Amino acid sequence: MDAQALPLSAAASLPASPAAQDYSLFLRRDPSGQAEMAFAVEGIDCAACIDEIEDACEALPGVARARLNYTTHRLTIGWDARAEPRPEDVLAALAKTGYRAWPFEAGRLEEMDNATSRHLLRCLGVAGFAAMNIMLLSVSVWSGNVTDITPETRDFFHWLSALIALPAAAYAGQPFFQSAVRALKAHTLNMDVPITLGVLLALGVSVFETLNHAEHAYFDSAVMLLFFLLGGRYLDHAMRRRTRAEAGNLAALKAVSANRFEADGRLVTVPAAAVRPGDEVMLRAGERAPVDGLVLSGTASVDESLVTGETLPRRVAAGDTVHAGSLVHDGVLRLRTIAAGEDTFLDEIERLLDKASTARGRYIRLADRAARLYAPMVHATALLALIGWLIAGASLHQAVLIAVAVLIITCPCALALAVPAVQVVAAGTLMRAGVLINAGDTFERLAEVDTVAFDKTGTLTLPEPSLSDTSNVPAPLLAAAARLALASTHPLARAIAAAHPEARPLAEVREVPGAGVEARIEGMTARLGSPAFCGCEALAAARAPEAPDASLVAVRLGDACALLEVRQALRPDAAEVIDALRAEGLRLVLLSGDRREAVAPVAARLGIKDWWARMRPADKIAVLESLGANRRGVLMVGDGLNDAPALASAHVSLSPISAADVTRAQADAVFLGDRLAPVVVALRIARRARHLMRQNLMIAVAYNLVAVPLAVAGHVTPLVAALAMSGSSVIVTLNALRARQGGGDAATGGRRSPAGEKVAA
């Protein structure tokens, strides 16, 4: 819906479009030297808008590429390396085609989203109110025609219906009317064109019939049609709005300020945007890195989950690299800036995310392309029916009624509901099974899966580390470790403390940054931390080969020393789910950013033969693209921020609810709980949903093959056409309800094994 469809109060509250301004602040150069700029575009109603906008922009001199993300409304324009970027030409071209745009700003897009959401909700309310009241009047007329209603009373009810329907349709139909007008101006057809024609002609014929004191009017059909279509459009808008909001949380990982060393050695706080490559900055505990930098001095534990996907912090020292967005747990670092601003690794992830989402968005266009083929056929059929009956000697009134009946009976309601109705019911079934759908075409793509790629940490394993078997650790040392762990916020210490909730805190504990914690227990010195801090290096060196997938935490009490193994345990049903997927004939792949020594034991335990370690986001995308090139439908299951680009580029993706906000936003579905059973359930229900979608499409096609000839032959009145059109919609909806069968409730709590999930394929 564009800004013109908004009420004046809402439109007035929106910020004005940028006029003459310095666009250099929004331009960046990619590695090939091409200038690039992102715009936010409003007025995008359907997938057909994507082709229209991209074609208009790519026709401009110097523009090499234009890519529009349907979900985020973000248009990325790339200019030839030798061309001068002219953002004002892009804005003018978009305005000429009926779209308003501005340099991309998340806050301003949110304002537009809020206004659009409020307007759609008001339209839905008006259409619902009008439909209910007109239906009451229509029931009175229908029953009266059978009994003894007088013509005067019938006319009165028809005029009351007109009084309600005409203003209600004029207001509630704006999203469809304006979309149709914009499509016609662009010399294209979308699904809103036949809907608009059907509604307007039904209203026009109804007024004509009322003026001529006829028995039937069709105000109820027109308004009810608007009500159901508005409901679907509002839900679609709400889904995309939520996805945009969650994807916007990536900004929360960006530091807004930096502690920069000046030339005279002073430390000053400056905006992160002011830092340049070569500048030196300081990072303290609790701060996020504002830049990609090389550690010059200091040691610290750094959470780099956005890079590797691992929740365990990494110990960094001089010579190591720290990426923007990384969180310092303890210690102080001095960095030399390698990359700043939009050249950081965090921004690279954001661009990969947007690029993958844009590429995948083209898959959704198939439905609207079908509508563009269907719409002209409907119009041509109605026009030919009108002309044919006039040539055959029918009166203009009779010919118009037949043409209107053809338009109404071919209104693409059954066609439009065939797939969405199954999606809604199947999504509800999955919701009860603990799976939440994020994208509209998830079911079709899940049903095409023949390969499943898993991330390791937080996906096959639980998101939080846990203390492993401690049967060989002396009780006094274990008790000391638990009490010391209560005084630390380190993730490894939290895992030890969580395993011993009965432990009592110590009164005085000294924390040694980057090493561990120390206290006095029963007159003895007690330490918990790194093996070096506790004097257990030799013991750790001997144990490390035996526990390659564990983090070793040392504890010392007096002269006694022991090692605790902290690792991320597999999800309770991981092995069972992997076996169930293998039994379904699916190929299984493991992609992890962790060390080879940590990935190999997990792959061996689960029997996954194809696995990769130390994978960066771009590496995961490369593997997925390689699998896709072999005509494989790849399901990616991941949870880390580093998995977000891979999730977006995969054929279809799933993410646990514990995943990062950005990752959940890019996943096509999210599953609840700490079990993997929902992955199996989702695949089985998707296959059933695909079967029902195909059935519904066949029903819709068969309906048109039977109904259209009858309408063209003049055997169907507009009233019967409206009833037939509604009946076909009811049939596909009832068939869609069969998607409720199966699915169970196991996934939410894992009360049954995946093998026990009885879901019809």
Catalytic residues: 455
Cα separation, 329 vs 302, in Å, equals: 6
Q: In 3-state terms, what secondary structure has residue 549?
A: coil
Distances (CA, A) of 678 to 590, 664, 743: 18, 15, 9
**Residue 40, beta-bridge partner list:** 74, 102
To the nearest 10°, the Cα dihedral for 669, 674, 680, 683?
0
* Run of H or E residues at 109: helix 106-146
3-state secondary structure of 288: strand
Residues 199 and 212: beta-carbon distance below 8 Å: no
DSSP letter string, 25-93: GT-EE-TTS-EEEEEEEE---STHHHHHHHHHHHTSTTEEEEEEETTTTEEEEEE-TTSPP-HHHHHHH
Angstrom distance (rounded) from CA 109 to CA 114: 9
Note the helical H segments in 268-412.
Answer: 305-308, 345-361, 365-391, 396-409
C-alpha angle with apex 272: 20 to 307, nearest 5 degrees?
A: 115
Polymer length of the chain: 761
* 302 three-state secondary structure: strand
- Which 3 state secondary structure label does DSSP give 225? helix
**Residue 497: its H or E element:** helix 491-498
Two tokens at 275?
Answer: 């830092």
Helix H or strand E encompassing 101:
strand 100-103
Encode 599-661 in three state secondary structure: HHHHHHHHCCCEEECCCCHHHHHHHHHHHHHCCCCEEEECCCHHHHHHHHHCCEEEEECCCCH
- What is the three-class DSSP state of 450? coil
Q: What angle do CA 103, 106, 110 make, to 5 degrees?
A: 115
Torsion of CA 370, 376, 379, 380, to 10 degrees: -130
417-420 own/partner pairs: CB under 8 Å, 24+ apart? 417/696, 417/729, 417/732, 417/733, 417/736, 418/693, 418/696, 418/697, 418/699, 418/700, 418/732, 419/367, 419/444, 419/693, 419/696, 419/697, 420/232
The two three-digit tokens of residue 103, written as one number: 């340099």
Among the listed residues 533, 645, 530, 660, the one whose alpha carbon sits nearest the alpha carbon of residue 591: 645
Measured over the CA atoms of residue 449, residue 455, residue 458 and residue 461, the dihedral's sign is positive
Residue 457 per-residue DSSP state: I
- Pairing between strand 587-591 and 451-454? parallel
Burial of 261 (0-12, 13-18, 19+ CB in 10 A): middle
Structure-token pair, residue 619: 């590496």
Beta bridge partners of 451: 587, 634
**Tell me, what DSSP letter sits at residue 456?**
I
- Using alpha carbons only, how large is the chain's radius of gyration in Å? 32
Tell me whether residue 522 is exposed, middle or buried, using C-beta atoms within 10 angstroms of its C-beta: 0 to 12, 13 to 18, 19 or more: exposed
Contact present, 129 and 85 (Cβ < 8 Å): no
